Amino acid sequence: MKVLITGGAGFLGQRLARKLIDKGTLRLQGGDWPIHQIDLLDVVAADTLGDARVRCLVGDIADPQVLRSAISRDTAVVFHLAAVVSGQAEADFDLGMRINFDASRALLETCRTLGHAPRVVFTSSVAVYGGALPATVRDDTALNPQSSYGTQKAMAELLLADYTRRGFVDGRVLRLPTISVRPGRPNAAASSFASGIVREPLHGEAATCPVAPDTRLWLLSPRRAVEALVAGCELDAAALADRRPINLPGVSVSAGAMVDALREVAGDAVASRVAWQPDERIERIVGSWPGCWDTGRAERLGLCGDEDFRAIVRAYITDDLTASTQ
């Protein structure tokens, strides 16, 4: 069977592909199915990771023709990671609608035509919540997005649930905490700093934190995110019942405590490279996301987060920093 990863050139798509190569099979409907092919679809050419099973597809994810060529009868699983990030979706409403909503819809529609209800693992976001929130956010807390990104993700979640209910696909929605520490360079996500204030100092560079030290974030390491994507894919449909979205367990930590953890792990000199420079636009978006969560359902389903933020910093040093400096 074949696996498609949209956003396959992105860092999460690449790591997921690596994980699937190493794993070799996916547990679906009671059996372990060998993965014969992994298609990485993206707007730029993805690294095929030196494995003959990996195929790179370049195209516009919102183009139904591209999707039809990427999804075929032997596609059993789709990991739909492709998205325009929050800051970009807020700056360019039409682009966000096209990639975050229209492309998701076209992908579901293409899967529907297969007739065998492929598994679709859709990554959503804490940005579907907002406004006056309960003290603790749960999987079934009301969606009330305060950004176009969150709105587009929430609409796609609802659509995926209906496609699943109708038997067009077997969908799973994993609401990812903010991924930290992302490797590479800053991006247009409002939460980009949540990686930058650790990554840049560890690389000897200055970083600015655009939110107040007491702003709470909800974080997950790339390592745990990839594990959760695979586990979410392998979950029995019966265990999910009529609630397809799952909030993944994260670490709830303030921006100030993040820098403290960086200091603990990497020392004063590194932590002192972070400057505090509030940016109202980013504070408004990030501040509308909840800080406190009940992720008991995810944990009962076997989806795990990181131990604490120090563990996240250490995971970055092991998985990325050491690799990139070798």
Q: How far is the CB of 112 from a second copy (least distance, A)?
A: 9
Total Cβ atoms within 10 A of residue 131: 11
Q: Report the C-alpha gap between 71 and 106 in whole angstroms.
A: 11
Binding to a second copy by residue 63, rule CB under 8 A?
A: no
Q: How far is the CB of 305 from a second copy (least distance, A)?
A: 23
Q: How far is the CB of 142 from a second copy (least distance, A)?
A: 4
Any idea what the Cα angle at residue 164 is, between residues 148 and 296, rounded to 5°? 75
Which phi and psi (to 5°) does residue 218 adopt?
Answer: -130, 105
Q: How far is the CB of 149 from a second copy (least distance, A)?
A: 10
Burial environment of residue 60 by CB neighbours within 10 A (0 to 12, 13 to 18, 19 or more):
middle
- Can you tell me which of 48, 69, 141, 187 binds a second copy, judged by CB under 8 A? 141
Interface with a second copy by CB under 8 A: which range of 44-52, 137-145, 176-184, 277-285? 137-145
Partners of residue 125 on adjacent β-strands: 176
What is the identity of the amino acid at 205?
A: E
Q: Report the C-alpha gap between 161 and 23 in whole angstroms.
A: 28
Binding to a second copy by residue 165, rule CB under 8 A?
A: yes
Binding to a second copy by residue 243, rule CB under 8 A?
A: yes
> Number of C-alpha atoms within 13 angstroms, CB side, residue 169?
32
Total Cβ atoms within 10 A of residue 290: 19
Select from 240, 195, 246, 257 the least CA-distant residue to 220: 195
- Can you tell me which of 20, 155, 169, 194 binds a second copy, judged by CB under 8 A? 155
- Can you tell me which of 56, 159, 301, 311 binds a second copy, judged by CB under 8 A? 159
Binding to a second copy by residue 287, rule CB under 8 A?
A: no
**Closest to a second copy by CB, 55 or 284:** 284
Alpha carbon of 67 to those of 58, 76, 85: distances in Å? 11, 14, 21
- Can you tell me which of 21, 56, 161, 304 binds a second copy, judged by CB under 8 A? 161
Binding to a second copy by residue 21, rule CB under 8 A?
A: no
Would you say 282 and 125 are in contact if contact means Cβ atoms under 8 Å apart? no
Would you say 74 and 1 are in contact if contact means Cβ atoms under 8 Å apart? yes
Interface with a second copy by CB under 8 A: which range of 143-151, 170-178, 261-269, 301-309? 143-151
Q: Report the C-alpha gap between 226 and 66 in whole angstroms.
A: 25
- Can you tell me which of 16, 46, 107, 154 binds a second copy, judged by CB under 8 A? 154
Binding to a second copy by residue 143, rule CB under 8 A?
A: yes
Binding to a second copy by residue 144, rule CB under 8 A?
A: yes
- Can you tell me which of 44, 52, 132, 135 binds a second copy, judged by CB under 8 A? 132
Q: How far is the CB of 286 from a second copy (least distance, A)?
A: 16
DSSP string for residues in 175-219: EEPEE-S--SS--SSTTTHHHHHHHHHHTT--EEE-S-TT-EEEE
**Closest to a second copy by CB, 131 or 186:** 131
**Closest to a second copy by CB, 47 or 162:** 162
Q: Which residues are known to be catalytic?
A: 149
- Can you tell me which of 86, 110, 124, 151 binds a second copy, judged by CB under 8 A? 151
**Closest to a second copy by CB, 163 or 316:** 163
The residues binding a second copy (CB under 8 A) are 93, 130-132, 140-146, 148, 151, 154-155, 158-159, 161-162, 165-166, 242-243
